[in-house]
Structure 1
Amino acid sequence: MKIKSIVTGIALSMGASVISISAVAGDTIKVGVLHSLSGTMAISETTLKDTVLMMVEEQNKKGGLLGKKLEAVVVDPASNWPLFAEKARELLTQEEVDVIFGCWTSVSRKSVLPVIEELNGLMFYPVQYEGEESSKNVFYTGAAPNQQAVPAVDYLADELGVERWVLAGTDYVYPRTTNKILAAYLKSKGVADEDIMVNYTPFGHSDWQSIVSDIKKFGSAGKKTAVVSTINGDANVPFYKELGNQGVSSEDIPVVAFSVGEEELSGIDTKPLVGHLAAWNYFQSVDNEANSAFINKWKAFTSADRVTNDPMEATYIGFNMWANAVKKAGSTEVDAVEQAMIGQETPNLTGGTAVMNKNHHLSKPVLIGEIQDDGQLEVVWETEGVVPGDAWSDYLPGSKDLISDWTSPVKCGNYNTQTQACVAQAK
């Protein structure tokens, strides 16, 4: 049995224990992997753990970094948000990792953030999020709201004529903040309060009958209606199933999702979902040489016909940039790598180039995909070029004057352009 198969099996079976995978004994560069392998978010996060292991293996085949092999250290925070902080501290103080790739939900990232900053660790966060944050110790390789949520709303309004909006999300920081931004954005475009319906449900919510019924009623007012979904994790499965049960088709009330991609679709019957949408910065269906090579590497590594998705591409980009920054800095020391990261460029998987900006956010293309009956997403719209990620929303009063710039002389994640001062960031 191959070592990677053994590691994957152990990681899935041992819960919150730590697993250290070292190619060779002795002095190594340690890469922490902080993703849920159990609980409600395992449906999404297990794949990212495997992606990091693949990247570590590939880098070691190239000779490692700075003359050393990479060693992956995997932990399972088990979809338990406080446990993310505990496991991050364990990775940094006991395992002494040089970098962490991890988290999915914003509540898990918010849990880890004080630990990373206190101990001066370095983390790459690979999932779309709500913005309104910038840390010297975090690189955000997923989409900010202006790279996913806002363009998706523009697409629905401009291309599909949507006038009424259901903002449906899981009850935690990412959906609530994203929907606050979207509501402000919609109102700035002239949308009335009565044409915006907001609904939140707990993680793992399973009984969607009354909510879908309310959505149908809201959509029967004679105006084109759409659902903007920030529902996360395995709650998506019964949500889409209930849409099908109640005959809500994409033609009637289209759903555009920000947390549903190929991985989530691979586990459900997609026939009732055909025509519904997802907004990401990458889809497996993108046809180019770089993406084909990545897909082939992934299938060879997993020895299975497993799908790829957007957070995997964000992990791939982040890992390659980190490796290049370590080479540039000649060190894994956090402050040196952090500065070497700014301005890094690396090919993305959609045929362009990812650039790490001075606000620790990437420039990325935005794609809208339509769900097909095979669980893939066909690109129906995309931006002409890349969109720089914006850490602070232009539509919220407390944020519109803030910028993030981690280069001299500013070196601040929340610099107020009006007062020309760095302001205290809310925790």
Structure 2
Amino acid sequence: MRGATALVSQRQDSLDVAFVIPRSGPEGIFGPSCEACGKLAVDEINSASGVLTRELRLHVVNGGQAPERVARDVDALVRAGKVQAVAGWHISAVRQQIDRVVAGRVPYVYSTLYEGGERTEGVFLTGETPDRQVLPALTWMARELAVRTWCIVGDDYVWPRASARVARRFARRSAGIRVLDEVFVPLGTEDFASAVRRVRGSGARGVLMFLVGSDAVRFNRAFVAAGLDQRCVRLSPLMEENMLLASGVANTRDLYATAGFFEALVTSAGLDFSRRYVERFGITAPALNSMGESCYEALTFMARLAERAGSIELDRLCAAADELAYESPRGVVRMVGNHLLQSVYLARAEGLEFDVIAQLAGPPRS
């Protein structure tokens, strides 16, 4: 691994991480939650002796910028020896650019749900993938709600398009499930009138949303304004509590979401995490959600992996990663290859909150 040992040896008293989270763009709506959860992880890790006795420190990089700009910012920090690792929530278009500048140099923990298929050595993926998130949800909707026809509406970049391909392949193999139409819009779209017309014209009973942040909020408003909530359900793998609040109580009818964590998740680990979050930041803190929790997850994973490897050198981290298991706010999680397997849940929006109604993917096997 080129340069890895030299990079980590420059600071023996701390482990400095480029923490790439959205502070602008459509995904900026949940950036404050990501930052708060990152701070909580740092507090807890450092109070428990740090990462191999090193103080964990975050250097926030705005992941909502253009992907090339984000990669340049991360590369500059790595080149200057200011950071020895990268982590955080950002879209796949940003991940692909960061991959190009950090591969083989420093560990990179990508916390975001994503389209699957990432195999770059030294990149560890702690988010959900369609095979354990979207596909089981489609099966549940067909069985429990008799929703078998879908129109896909997504932002036009790698995660929505690749995830839509996974859904299409699944529908072709599944008796009775069909994708009738697909609509992709530029990231940052404000006017969804054309997309809503396509949904109406498709005749689909459900809309599979691959929309990010404020794009999903605007779509929700346009969807309900057109009266489509009277005939269609919506299903999103990227819908969280801040987006419900922004959508408004009138615009969340028959809206379903699937994720590895919800603030309303009634498990001992989830409830304890929510309690610690409120104790640390108070009741006026940014709404806790799966995107924010995933940032906590990424940093916790990094600390657990370093503990198992006895080092933060990239070669040793890669060797120690497979089959790492621990208890997290998402329950028991386990690393298989470079992906963290976890339980996944389905929730239905009830006004401005989620009600978790089913477990779609069980805990990883021991």
Task: Say yes or no: TM over 0.5.
Answer: yes
In the alignment, which residue of structure 1 is the partner of 2:8? none
2:58 partner letter: A
Per-residue deviation, residues 355-409 of structure 1 (Å, max 9, x unmatched): 111x211221121110011x22111221362258xxxxxxxxxxxxxxxxxxxxx
In the alignment, which residue of structure 2 is the partner of 1:218? 202
Name the CA distance, whole Å, in 1 between partners of 2:190 and 2:196: 12
Deviation at 1:110, TM superposition (A): 0.8
In the alignment, which residue of structure 1 is the partner of 2:329? 349
From 113, 126, 141, the equivalent of 1:128 is 113
1:200 partner letter: F
Change over 3 Å in CA distance of 1:376–1:211 after alignment to 2: same
| Paired-residue identity, % | 22
Contact 1:42 1:79 in 2 (8 A): no
Change over 3 Å in CA distance of 1:271–1:27 after alignment to 2: same
* Bigger radius of gyration: 1
1:76 partner letter: N
Q: Which has the higher contact order (CA 8 A, sep 6+)?
A: 2
Name the Cα RMSD after superposition: 2.2
In the alignment, which residue of structure 2 is the partner of 1:377? 354
Contact 1:317 1:346 in 2 (8 A): no
Name the CA distance, whole Å, in 2 between partners of 1:274 and 1:170: 22
Of 55-64 and 135-144, deviating more is: 55-64
2:366 maps to 1:366: no
In the alignment, which residue of structure 2 is the partner of 1:145? 130
The count of corresponding residues between Structure 1 and Structure 2 is 354
1:198 partner letter: E
Name the CA distance, whole Å, in 2 between partners of 1:306 and 1:111: 29
Name the CA distance, whole Å, in 2 between partners of 1:69 and 1:133: 30
SS of structure 2 residue aligned to 1:197 = strand
Report 1:10-409 matches (<5 A): 27-117=13-103, 119-190=104-175, 196-219=180-203, 225-249=205-229, 252-303=231-282, 304-350=284-330, 352-357=331-336, 359-373=337-351, 375-383=352-360, 385-386=362-363
Name the CA distance, whole Å, in 2 between partners of 1:311 and 1:40: 14
1:365 partner letter: S
Per-residue deviation, residues 2-57 of structure 1 (Å, max 9, x unmatched): xxxxxxxxxxxxxxxxxxxxxxx983111220122123321133422332222112
In the alignment, which residue of structure 1 is the partner of 2:3? none
Contact 1:127 1:311 in 2 (8 A): yes
Name the CA distance, whole Å, in 1 between partners of 2:214 and 2:70: 19
Deviation at 1:140, TM superposition (A): 0.8
Contact 1:122 1:137 in 2 (8 A): yes
Name the CA distance, whole Å, in 2 between partners of 1:160 and 1:206: 31
Q: After the TM superposition, which parts of structure 1 deviate over 4 Å for at least 4 consecutive aligned residues?
A: 190-193
1:161 partner letter: A
Name the CA distance, whole Å, in 2 between partners of 1:59 and 1:236: 34
Name the CA distance, whole Å, in 2 between partners of 1:139 and 1:201: 29
Contact 1:41 1:79 in 2 (8 A): no
In the alignment, which residue of structure 2 is the partner of 1:401? none
Deviation at 1:84, TM superposition (A): 1.8
Deviation at 1:321, TM superposition (A): 2.5
Deviation at 1:177, TM superposition (A): 0.7
Deviation at 1:348, TM superposition (A): 2.9
Deviation at 1:192, TM superposition (A): 8.5
Deviation at 1:269, TM superposition (A): 0.8
Change over 3 Å in CA distance of 1:78–1:230 after alignment to 2: closer
Name the CA distance, whole Å, in 2 between partners of 1:205 and 1:298: 33
1:141 partner letter: T
Name the CA distance, whole Å, in 2 between partners of 1:56 and 1:172: 32
Change over 3 Å in CA distance of 1:192–1:126 after alignment to 2: closer
Contact 1:140 1:360 in 2 (8 A): yes
Name the CA distance, whole Å, in 2 between partners of 1:97 and 1:172: 29
Contact 1:254 1:275 in 2 (8 A): yes
Contact 1:299 1:306 in 2 (8 A): no
Of 169-178 and 257-266, deviating more is: 257-266
Change over 3 Å in CA distance of 1:71–1:247 after alignment to 2: same
Name the CA distance, whole Å, in 2 between partners of 1:148 and 1:267: 24
Name the CA distance, whole Å, in 2 between partners of 1:94 and 1:191: 56
Name the CA distance, whole Å, in 1 between partners of 2:12 and 2:335: 33
Name the CA distance, whole Å, in 2 between partners of 1:297 and 1:33: 21
Contact 2:241 2:353 in 1 (8 A): yes
SS of structure 1 residue aligned to 2:246 = coil
Q: Which has the higher helix share?
A: 2
2:315 partner letter: D
- TM-score, normalising length: structure 2: 0.90
